[in-house]
Structure 1
Amino acid sequence: MATTTTPHQRSGTARAAAGGLTIFAAVMLFISGSMDFCRGLMAVLDDKVFLTTPEYVFEFDLTSWGWIHMILGTVAVIVALGLLATAKWARILGIVIASLMIIANFLSIPYHPFWSLTLIAMGGFIIWGLCVVDRETLG
């Protein structure tokens, strides 16, 4: 007896949930990128806003950290707009950018701890929102 398989169709609810998680991740990435850009701008314009840690292992000049955060924030906002436009490249690049933002914020915890921890948590939610959706529910 031969068995046949048919393509599995997802319900409208599953497709709506997939779209909702993508929109959630896009909005969180936009907010996180905007906050990271503002943080970088503060570091470039006036680095007296941040704490100084004299013996930190990953010590960089605050202007360097500022440019790193400004570049990551700008790319994150562009990727978030790509996610809202349902571009396929934006999902993978969103995960990569959120991961890089988590690493950058972890390394800059001594300079601005509360803000760094907030953005690390937001990055985790972004990665979750982009990874939890089944590939089959996307189209």
Structure 2
Amino acid sequence: MTTVPSRPERGHGEPGGSGTFTASMFAGSMMMLSGPLSILMGASGIAQDTLFAASRYSYRFDLTAWGWIHLVIGVALVIAALGVLTDQGWGRGAGIGVAAVSLITQFMFVPYYPLWAIPVMTIDLLILFALTRGRLS
């Protein structure tokens, strides 16, 4: 008697199989890009308090504070990326949360350095799209 598996096995080259670049792998890869970029931005803000300038801005913080914010978010992105890439249960939720926080902080940072913040915001949006559209199980 032959039994039919409830879920087909996935092999090389099949959607979601080990030979395919999945949405989660894309999101993890993008977080491994966005995280170090945020860490570098944070290090720049901490080391050189006069590196960026913005006048009369609602979300104006001391640039050293912005540096620490970016540094912490960057480290959190790298940790969440490792969780997503190793398929940990907490990885997807952590990735969504950290990418959303990163997106918001990058938006708040636009007046200081728009040529940096806008591309990183785009990466964060791609991360959110990839993590929220993939499989939930």
Per the TM superposition, whether the score is higher than 0.5 is: yes
Summarize the Cα distance change of 1:48–1:84 in structure 2 as closer, same or farther, 3 Å threshold.
same
Q: How many Å apart are 1:68 and its aligned residue?
A: 0.4
2:103 is aligned to 102
1:22 aligns with 2:21: no
Identical positions, percent? 30
Q: How many Å apart are 1:7 and its aligned residue?
A: 8.5
Q: How many Å apart are 1:49 and its aligned residue?
A: 2.1
Q: For the residues of structure 1 that align with 2:45 and 2:135, how far apart are their CA atoms?
A: 39
1:62 is aligned to 63
**Structure with the higher helix share, 1 or 2:** 1
2:73 is aligned to 72
Asked which structure has the greater RCO (Cα within 8 Å, sep 6+), the reply is 1
Summarize the Cα distance change of 1:10–1:133 in structure 2 as closer, same or farther, 3 Å threshold.
farther
Contact 1:76 1:97 in 2 (8 A): yes
2:112 is aligned to 111
The alignment's TM-score, normalised by the length of structure 1, stands at 0.85
CA-based RMSD of the aligned residues comes to 2.1
* Letter of the 1:95 counterpart: I
Contact 1:18 1:133 in 2 (8 A): no
Summarize the Cα distance change of 1:15–1:49 in structure 2 as closer, same or farther, 3 Å threshold.
same
Contact 1:47 1:62 in 2 (8 A): yes
Q: For the residues of structure 2 that align with 1:58 and 1:73, how far apart are their CA atoms?
A: 20
SS in 1 for 2:57: coil
Where do 4+ consecutive residues of structure 1 move more than 6 Å?
none
Count of matched residue positions in the alignment of Structure 1 and Structure 2? 130
The alignment's TM-score, normalised by the length of structure 2, stands at 0.86
